[in-house]
Amino acid sequence: MHRPPAHDRVFIEALEVETIIGIYDWERTQKQIVSLDLEMDANIAHAALTDQIDQTLNYKQVAKRLIGFIEQSEFQLVETLAQRCAEIVLNEFPVEWLRLKLSKPGAVRGSRAVGVLIERTASGPIQ
């Protein structure tokens, strides 16, 4: 099993955003909630010493960027949305590895949520 880099992690749990997502006609006209859990590789040692936000991965900036993107998106598949969100984080923030779980609550009767869990590095999908 692949092990992520041995660094600290910054995480965001249960970030809920409304968007158009899905393959069915009714899903193309009605916003639904998706939920993101992110775990991102980030060396926080210097920030811990300096107590300065600019020395760490600013989770608020990551969240705001993803919220803005997801609210404007209209993908059919959660797989596509998850991949695009991972690309944004890896390309725009100092992150070398991430684990992203994208859930679609209530999409399947009897389940709390369905979705995908992906791991990516700055160089691409983990093999």
Residue 104 is a catalytic residue:
yes
69-123: pLDDT as tens digits: 999 999 999 999 999 999 999 999 999 999 999 999 988 888 889 999 999 998 8
28-69: pLDDT as tens digits: 999 999 999 999 998 888 888 999 989 899 999 999 999 999
- Crossing angle of helices 59-72 and 78-92, in 10° steps, is 140
pTM: 0.89
Q: How many CB atoms lie within 10 A of CB 17?
A: 21
Catalytic residue among 60, 64, 101, 104: 104
Domains of the chain: 9-125 (3.30.1130.10)
